[in-house]
Structure formats: C-alpha cells, structure tokens
Amino acid sequence: MDVLSDDARLILHQIYQHESNIRVRIDEIHSGSESSSPFPLIQQIRSKLNILKVKVVEQQTAEGEDFLRQQHQLHSEELGTLQKQIRAALNVQTERKAKAEREELLATGTIRRRGKKDVTKVAEEITGTLQRNTELLAAMVRQQEETVHNLAASSAEIGNVDSEYRSLSAVLVSSHRLVTKIGQRAMTDTILTYLCFFLFLCTVAYVIQKRIF
C-alpha cells in the first residue's frame, strides 16, 4: 500500500467499505429483516473501479502499477460474486414470502374463513412481490450493461493515455541521448582547445628559444 498514491489508497478504502456494506445488506435479506437496496452501492463500486483503472497509469513506480492492477482485478471479481449473492438472496426472499403465504392459506380452515376477496388479495401480494424482485433483477442487468459500456469507454481512454505516455517516454529517451552526445562533444572540444593552446605555447617557446640562443 505504501507504493500507491494517496488518492488511489482512498479509492481502495472506499471500495472495501462499499463491499462490507453490501455483505451486511445481503445478510439482512437472508434473515428476512428490512434492508435498503444494495444496488446503489453496486453502482458506486463500479464507478470507483473505473476511476481505479485510470489511476493505474498514474502511479510513480512499476510496483505501484502492478499492485493497483491486481487490486482492480480482485475487486472486479468480488463485484461479480456480490451480484450473484444478491440475486440468490432475493430469490430466497421471494420463495420465503411465497411459502409463508401458501402456508397461511393452507392452514386449517383458513381458506374457508377467508372470503374470495382475501384469497385474491394474498395472491396479488405474492404476485407483487415477485414483480418487485423481477424488476430489481432487471435493474441489475441494465446496470451491468452500463458497466460494460463504461468499461469499454474507460479502456479506450486508458489506451490513449498509455499511447501518449509511451510516445512521451520515447521523446524523453531521445532527448536524453541527444543531451549526452552534446555533453560529450563539448568535452571533446574543450580538450582539443587546451591541446591546441598547449601546442601554441610550445611553438612560441621554441621560437623564442631559437632567437635567444
């Protein structure tokens, strides 16, 4: 975690929190207690994963990129697992309610004491429960389709960023080589200048020596 930037660590922490909250809501659905819909949290995790995928190329080290890429893969798989668990929990909830209603209707004398209107009302309630769960599942499918579309767009954007980054890296490498060559040429010119100056002094000394002696 120390190799990650602060914003990447914050996003990972938020994803962990959302996953934990979704598990709590799944347990509430299984237990039959009242629970708010987990689908908004699913959507938030999708959004955070999209941001996390962009943050991969923004890390300062290769180690940070690899770690963040692994975390993105793990949490994407965990998101799929949580969605399956939600669907299973909703199915169990629907079956539990339907079974409870049937048992109530089939209790000794219940159907006889109830009028036709009561039986119809119970049937409508069961149908309504099934329809609501069907709508929830349909909403999940629509959200998955939107996620696929968003991931495709994000992948294209990341590809563009990566291409620009590689181009910039190539330019920087070429510039470094050019600066190195210029430095070497400057050093060579300096040495040649000093050699020429030394040769000039030797020549002057030789001429003076010949004139004096």
DSSP string, 82-113: HHHHHHHHHHHHHHHHHHHHHHHHHSTTHHHH
Q: What is the pLDDT of residue 100?
A: 74
Burial class (CB in 10 A: 0-12, 13-18, 19+), 116: exposed
- Maximum alpha-carbon separation in the chain: 147
Buried b (16+ CB within 10 A) or exposed e, 76-112: bebbeebbebbeebbeebbeebeeeeeeeeeeeeeee
Task: Give the model confidence (pLDDT) of 89-146 as tens digits.
Answer: 888 878 877 777 777 666 655 545 555 555 566 667 777 777 777 777 777 777 777 7
pLDDT-derived band of residue 179, with 50, 70 and 90 as boundaries? confident
**Is the pLDDT score of 174 beyond 60?**
yes
The mean pLDDT value for 139-158 works out to 74
The mean pLDDT value for 182-196 works out to 86
Q: What is the pLDDT of residue 56?
A: 79
Proportion of the chain above pLDDT 90, given as a percent: 1
User: How confident is the prediction for the chain on average, in pLDDT?
Assistant: 78
Q: What is the pLDDT of residue 1?
A: 54
Q: How many CB atoms lie within 10 A of CB 144?
A: 15
Q: What is the pLDDT of residue 123?
A: 66
Please, are residues 160 and 107 in contact by the beta-carbon 8 Å criterion? no
> What one-letter code names the amino acid at 48?
K
Weakest-pLDDT range from 13-27, 41-55, 72-86, 159-173 = 159-173
Looking at per-residue confidence, does 174 or 154 come out higher? 174
Q: What is the pLDDT of residue 88?
A: 85
Q: What is the pLDDT of residue 115?
A: 52
Task: Give the model confidence (pLDDT) of 26-64 as tens digits.
Answer: 888 877 776 677 888 888 888 888 888 888 777 778 888
- Residue length of the chain: 213
Number of alpha helices (DSSP H) and beta strands (DSSP E) in the chain: 5, 0
What are 107's two structure tokens?
């209790």
Proportion of the chain above pLDDT 70, given as a percent: 84
Q: What is the pLDDT of residue 89?
A: 83
**Is the pLDDT score of 2 beyond 70?**
no
